[in-house]
Amino acid sequence: MNGKPADVVELANALKVLADPTRLAILDLLVEGVQCNCHLGGRLGLPMNLISHHLKILRETGLVNVERDPFDARWVYYSVIPKKLAELRGQLSAFLDPERIQPRLPTCGPRLVGTESLHAANW
């Protein structure tokens, strides 16, 4: 984990998955509603095996759910997991919140020379 908080690692992993343009396009289509991989492939102009590969990665990340048709198990449908998408949105929003930016003087380097008394006053 390299000393990083678990939530930062989780966010980075989700962003890595979504950094792929095909996976992002698939997620975008799934936000429109439940879809099968043949429909996704047709809309994106990609073969079903490639769509299946990307759907597998999205499922492993927890963003996408898979469900077999109750009448014909050969048909598989995919959908976005709203709770997971909301969690990701919240994590990203919190991480990128400009209110997190704090004024701070450097504690090392050439800018520190002559600012020791100012720096001490801020602590």
Domains of the chain: 6-122 (1.10.10.10)
Judge contact between 71 and 31, C-beta under 8 A: no
Q: Are 41 and 52 in contact (CB under 8 A)?
A: no
Do residues 66 and 51 lie in contact, with contact meaning Cβ atoms separated by under 8 Å?
A: no
pLDDT for the residue 29: 97
pLDDT at 1 (0 to 100):
44
For the stretch 66-122, pLDDT in tens is 999 999 988 999 999 999 999 999 999 999 999 988 887 777 877 666 555 555 555
Q: Are 94 and 13 in contact (CB under 8 A)?
A: no
Q: How far is CA 97 from CA 16, 30, 91, 93, 101, in A?
A: 20, 27, 10, 6, 8
The DSSP symbol for 76 reads: E
pLDDT at residue 42, as a whole number: 95
